[in-house]
Amino acid sequence: MAKRTLSQLDVAGKTVLVRVDFNVPIEQGVDVIDQYDQRLRATLPTIEHLLAQDCKVLLCSHLGRPAGQVHETLRLSPVGDRLAALLGRPVLSLADCVGDAVTAAVSAMTPGQVCLLENLRFHPGEESNDPGFAQQLASLADCFVMDAFAVAHRAHASTVGVPSILPAAMGLLTQREVESLGQALAAPRRPLAALMGGAKVSDKILVLENLLERLDHLFIGGGMAVTFLAAQGKPVGASPVETDRLDFARAVIARAAAAGVALHLPQDVAAASEFAPEPARVQTVSVAAVPDDWYIMDVGSATARAFSAALAACQTIIWNGPMGVFEMERFRAGTRTIAEAIAGRPGVTTVVGGGSTAEAIESLQLVDGMTHVSTGGGAALEFLEGRQLPGIAALPDA
């Protein structure tokens, strides 16, 4: 069912509460926040649309996991400072998100001003979806815009409580997420490929269950591939194997064959003598020759080239999960080769799931080469699993 969009919500001259996702990796340091501000940039179109409508714009977000307690290192004011630089106008950062002082500050705002409320998760009522806390947030505004797709899979006060009280709609970012992911699932241009990586098969079980028979090609790399290789009887050295997922991996292999889905697994891998950023020894070996006690760290160069060549024939590509231990510089080659191969291809739809995959694409400076890079890790996965997201379901139908 289509949900109400921002263009269908009367916001002119009103006070609008916008749920954004400014949960940036603040632990990397506020002095380098410009290096990890993609989530702020992604919400700029919605903020600018509201400013053009003479709105008072109230932004609310969480940051980290303070568990209902105030943590000075998780205050949002540094994020507000970066947002002000991106917007080219002041952003008022408040010391709380509810209460008399917040109400007074919002009342004193004039149209065209932007205010960032303090970390929602400083209050236990946010994650418990407390009706009283939702009512306090809702009392600050005339209407609500959901532009935090990354937390749309959470039934929290700011995602499902507030839209049950105020007139509400999807923001431009959330609308783009839902439309891009939805089209890749419902009406893809073919051939359709899924490129799956990341650490664990268990993280992708429901995605594979939902997608497998719809695909033309399935590519598996990253830590996931270790379990699939083990399921085929290949040596995997000391690499962790999800032994409880071996039967599932074998079932996926069988189902892909039965459905005529081309399954692509690594033929060679980058193996290391230690699971470390700078191991003593690294070599590329066939998947039939992984040394005992060594670790599979990345797909090999031949596999990266083979994956890239096969992906070149695909018209829609859904990617979730890096091809290796991307957080270690030495083991980025597989992800980089494949990302560069699929980026910027005219007429090809490339939808990148959020989380570590989005971080990898951003660090490679290839975001603009993809059709859509999701801001949501868990939310994107659940959407691809075919599950209903509470933060979207709570919005009124169009």
| Cα gap 117→120, rounded to integer Å | 8
| Cα gap 385→206, rounded to integer Å | 5
- Residue 167 region by backbone torsions, left for phi larger than 0, else alpha for psi between -120 and 50, else beta: beta
Nearest in space to 376 (alpha carbons), one of 356, 354, 391, 352: 354
Nearest in space to 19 (alpha carbons), one of 126, 108, 113: 126
Q: Which of 14, 41, 200, 345 is flagged as catalytic?
A: 200
| Cα gap 377→204, rounded to integer Å | 12
Does residue 336 carry a catalytic annotation?
A: no
| Cα gap 352→380, rounded to integer Å | 9
32-41: list long-range contacts, CB under 8 Å, 24+ apart.
Answer: 33/78, 33/79, 33/82, 34/82, 34/85, 37/82, 37/86, 38/358, 38/362, 38/367, 38/375, 39/150, 39/375, 40/79, 40/82, 40/83, 40/86, 41/86
The DSSP secondary-structure symbol of 389 reads P
- DSSP characters over 355-369: THHHHHHHHTT-GGG
Question: Helix-strand-coil percent breakdown of the chain, rounded to 5?
Answer: 45, 15, 40
Q: Which of 221, 222, 223, 355 is flagged as catalytic?
A: 355
| Cα gap 19→86, rounded to integer Å | 18
Does residue 355 carry a catalytic annotation?
A: yes
Does residue 378 carry a catalytic annotation?
A: yes
Q: Position 103: which residue type?
A: T
- Omega of the bond prior to 191 within 30 degrees of 0, cis? yes
Q: Which of 39, 56, 176, 336 is flagged as catalytic?
A: 39
Does residue 152 contact residue 389 with C-beta atoms inside 8 Å?
Answer: yes
The DSSP secondary-structure symbol of 396 reads P
**What residues are annotated to the active site?**
39, 200, 355, 378
